[in-house]
C-alpha cells in the first residue's frame, strides 16, 4: 500500500474527515503524531494514536517515530485517567500490528481504550453501540478537565 492509498495519511493531510482529539506537531525534526476517534470505537474513551508519517507497522517504523507515538499514548492515558490514580478506571491499551492482529489500516496505530475490569472482550470489529462521536466526546471531556486543572 502506498501513502496515497492510506486513509490515515489522508486524515493527516486534511483530505479525510476525523474527530481529532489531540495533535503533536513534533518540530525541530521530531516526528509528529495525531490522536483521533476511530470509525468504529469499542468503548467510550477509545482513541487512535498514529505517527503523521506513513509507517505500516512496528517492523518498519523508525525508533524516533515509535517513541513519539508511545509518548503521546502515555500522555493521553495519563490525562484521560486524571489526577486520581483510580481515575476513570483506565486500565488497558491495545497495540495492533498487521492484519492477523485486527489491524485493518496498514499505518502504524495504537488503540488507546478506556477499560474496566469487568469489560467484555473489546477488539476492533466487535459489535459495539458506541459511536465515533461518543468516543470523541469522552476523550475530549477528559482532556478538557486536564487542561482546566492546568
Average pLDDT over residues 6-18: 96
Read off the pTM: 0.77
Question: Cβ distance 40 to 102 under 8 Å?
Answer: no
Q: What is the pLDDT of residues 51-84, one digit of tens each?
A: 999 999 889 999 999 999 999 998 998 888 765 5
Indicate whether 97 pLDDT > 70: no
Indicate whether 48 pLDDT > 60: yes
* Domains of the chain by start residue, with CATH: 3-149 (3.30.428.10)
Please report, rounded to a whole number, the percentage of residues in the chain having pLDDT higher than 90. 36
Tell me, what's the pLDDT at 133?
A: 79
Residues with catalytic roles:
109
- Comparing 128 with 59, which gets the higher pLDDT? 59
Kindly report each contact of residues 78-85 with a partner whose C-beta sits within 8 Å and lies 24 or more positions away, as own/partner. Answer: 79/142, 79/143, 79/146, 80/45, 80/112, 80/114, 80/139, 80/142, 80/143, 80/146, 81/142, 82/142, 82/145, 82/146, 83/149
Predicted confidence band of residue 49 (pLDDT cuts 50, 70, 90): very high
Tell me, what's the pLDDT at 1?
A: 46
Amino acid at each position: 500500500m502506498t501513502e496515497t492509498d492510506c486513509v490515515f495519511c489522508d486524515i493527516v493531510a486534511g483530505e479525510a474527515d476525523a474527530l481529532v482529539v489531540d495533535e503533536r506537531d513534533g518540530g525541530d525534526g521530531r516526528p509528529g503524531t495525531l490522536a483521533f476517534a476511530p470509525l468504529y470505537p469499542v468503548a467510550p474513551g477509545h482513541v487512535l494514536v498514529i505517527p503523521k508519517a506513513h509507517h505500516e507497522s512496528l517492523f518498519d517504523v523508525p525508533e524516533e517515530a515509535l517513541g513519539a507515538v508511545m509518548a503521546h499514548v502515555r500522555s493521553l492515558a495519563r490525562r484521560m485517567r486524571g489526577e486520581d490514580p483510580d481515575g476513570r478506571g483506565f486500565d488497558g491499551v491495545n497495540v495492533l500490528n498487521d492484519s492477523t492482529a485486527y489491524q485493518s489500516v496498514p499505518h502504524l496505530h495504537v488503540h488507546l481504550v478506556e477499560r474496566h475490569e469487568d469489560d467484555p472482550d473489546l477488539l476492533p470489529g466487535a459489535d459495539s453501540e458506541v459511536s465515533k462521536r461518543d468516543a470523541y466526546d469522552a476523550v475530549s471531556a477528559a482532556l478538557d478537565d486536564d487542561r482546566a486543572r492546568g
